Structure 1
Amino acid sequence: MKTALVTGSAGFVGRHMAAELTARGWAVDGVDLNGHTRQDALDLFRTDITRYDLVVHCAARTPHRAAIDRQPATMAYNLHLDAAMFDWVLRTGQKRVLYLSSSAVYPVGFQDGSEPWKLHETNTDSAHGIMPDAGYGWTKLTGEKMAAAATEDGVGLAVHVVRPFSGYGEDQGEDWPFGAFVGRARRREDPFQIWGDGQQVRDWIHISDVVAGALAVVDQDVREPVNLCTGRGVAMTQLAELVVTTVGYQPWVEYLPHAPRGVAYRVGDTARFFDVYQPKVTLEEGVARAVRPGVGV
């Protein structure tokens, strides 16, 4: 039986990743401060010597918009966490790592909305004037540099880097826009609040496709970074309209211009990803799955 370690296994991506690997017949160990083990991944990296067939590194502290903009100190923790993970991987002779990076690594200059630029994996090259999205973007870009360095010493380590765009799903918390919109709609809030001006465009990809796409990258042994995206841009206002319409009410919308809003336009180039995996869940289907339990409540 193949074995896997999933860090951040109680988080949104981590718990879905652990569940999918288990469903595929893997023996999965999870580590998360908020999980049933209540173990810090940093402690595991200091002491554990177990060797796994796959290490899936999802752990990060509060990687949502409010924290990215308002809690910059998380950058130091996340850098420490990634460095400790790669040190442990090399020290204990792990052979394969799936590193969950982020679309935040891309230069914000490509995401100002002046043109609908679809972000290609090569857009992080230094020739493009790197300026990632806040400290979190720098953290993940540095993590990718660590990943590249870890494979250069001839130990036979394989590292797969994936860059999820706006992942969402039925059980997502309200710290993220999709989860917040679903929660507000289930409560039939009126007014319905949207951070920023509502014109921020995102590439929404269902969590099942994030997980299946990432594992397809591993299965096909892709060693270059891969976007996890759909190539379809949908604005926050459009998403809110879809959510409330699916629930069945039409509130007045209140925009919060001083709340964290992020970049104007973030949509991924799908060419590399679609060679590996084709997303299965449309945004409309994903919204219906999420709000169905709350309809009529």
Structure 2
Amino acid sequence: MKTALVTGSWGFVGRHMTAELRGRGWDVIGCDIANPDRPVDCLDVFRRADRVFDLVVHAAARAPHRAAIDGRPATMAYNLQLDAAMFDWALRTGQRRVLYLSSSAVYPVQFQDGSEEWRLHETNTDSAHGIMPDAGYGWTKLTGEKTAAAAAAEGLAVHVVRPFSGYGEDQGDDWPFGAFVARAHRREDPFTVWGNGLQVRDWIHIDDVVAGALAVVDADVREPVNVCTGRGVSMKELAGMICQETGHQPWIAYDRTAPPGVAYRVGDPDRFHDLYQPKVSLEEGVTRAVRRARQQGAVASL
């Protein structure tokens, strides 16, 4: 039986990755300090464990959402420490393969100002384009990718994926999709959207994030790969889709004091789509999320 370690296994990506690997017959161990049943600090694992896994999925990160990215910059130091400790441990213990969850935040912000509909290609992080990723989190992930490359040069098999705006039915309300579903379910009026609502994102369902990332591993691709759809949908449009699905017709209020993020972030999907074709459309994802919120509401009212 193949074995895997998933760091950040209690987080959004980590728990879906854990479930998918187990569904494929893998023996999976998770570590996450946020696990209420068995909190395990991943840093302790990297200090003490010597077991060798067929695959290490490194999804652990502290508060990788917009409010924390702009409002809690000190998380950068912890995330840098976490990545460095993981790669040091992987090399020291001879781990067979590592899947590093990077981020679309690594891309230079000058390509994301909305002046043109630029599809971000994996090569756009090259120094020839100028390096100015999205805030401290972007710097953290870009540094993580450089560390991954250094570890690969020493013989570690490393795969790097750059998910764009992942979403799903069980996403928390620290992220826009989860927040919009929760606001629509609560019938909030006004319905608040951060910024001017025109910020465009490349939304990809968590099922496709996980399956797509594992397709990169299965194909043994060693260069960074966007995990994206290539389709851009604005925050305003997404809010409208969710409200329509719930039958809610609120007044949309734009909170321009809240951090909006970059204006336009859509990935070039060509490299990814050669390996994997996303299965869940945004429309289907919205329907699934609204259905789940209704079911949970019905259970809570019993």
What is the TM-score with the length of structure 2 in the denominator?
A: 0.97
In structure 2, what is the Cα distance between the partners aligned to 1:150 and 1:192? Answer: 46
**Aligned: 1:170 with 2:177:** no
Structure 2 spans left out of the alignment, 5+ residues: 298-302
CA contact (8 A) 1:247 1:295 kept: no
CA contact (8 A) 2:99 2:158 kept: yes
CA contact (8 A) 1:170 1:290 kept: yes
Shift of 1:291: 0.4
CA contact (8 A) 1:168 1:207 kept: yes
CA contact (8 A) 2:216 2:275 kept: yes
Equivalent in the alignment of 2:194: 195
In structure 2, what is the Cα distance between the partners aligned to 1:102 and 1:287? Answer: 23
CA shift digits 1:221-274 (9 cap, x unpaired): 000000000000000000000000000111001100010100000000011000
CA contact (8 A) 1:68 1:136 kept: yes
Equivalent in the alignment of 1:22: 22
**Aligned: 1:121 with 2:122:** yes
CA shift digits 1:138-181 (9 cap, x unpaired): 0000000000000112x3x2100000000000000000000000
Equivalent in the alignment of 1:252: 251
Equivalent in the alignment of 2:77: 76
Equivalent in the alignment of 2:300: none
Equivalent in the alignment of 1:209: 208
Q: Which amino acid aligns with 2:92?
A: R
Equivalent in the alignment of 1:61: 62
In structure 1, what is the Cα distance between the partners aligned to 2:152 and 2:13? Answer: 25
Equivalent in the alignment of 2:111: 110
**Aligned: 1:232 with 2:200:** no
Q: Which range is displaced more, 286-295 or 204-213?
A: 286-295
Shift of 1:37: 2.2
**Aligned: 1:289 with 2:288:** yes
Shift of 1:124: 0.1
Equivalent in the alignment of 2:51: 50
Q: Which amino acid aligns with 1:129?
A: G
In structure 1, what is the Cα distance between the partners aligned to 2:131 and 2:275? Answer: 27
Q: Which amino acid aligns with 2:122?
A: E
How many residue pairs match? The answer is 295
Q: Which amino acid aligns with 2:213?
A: A
In structure 2, what is the Cα distance between the partners aligned to 1:293 and 1:273? Answer: 29
Structure 1 spans left out of the alignment, 5+ residues: none
In structure 1, what is the Cα distance between the partners aligned to 2:120 and 2:209? Answer: 17
CA contact (8 A) 2:169 2:292 kept: no
In structure 1, what is the Cα distance between the partners aligned to 2:250 and 2:122? Answer: 39
Runs of 4+ in structure 1 off by over 4 angstroms are none
CA contact (8 A) 2:204 2:228 kept: yes
Q: Which range is displaced more, 29-38 or 11-20?
A: 29-38
In structure 1, what is the Cα distance between the partners aligned to 2:73 and 2:292? Answer: 36
- Secondary structure in structure 1 of the residue aligned to 2:202: strand
Q: Which amino acid aligns with 1:172?
A: Q
Percent of residue pairs identical: 75
In structure 2, what is the Cα distance between the partners aligned to 1:193 and 1:200? Answer: 14
Q: Which amino acid aligns with 2:133?
A: P
What is the TM-score with the length of structure 1 in the denominator?
A: 0.98
CA contact (8 A) 1:6 1:55 kept: yes
Q: CA RMSD in A?
A: 0.8
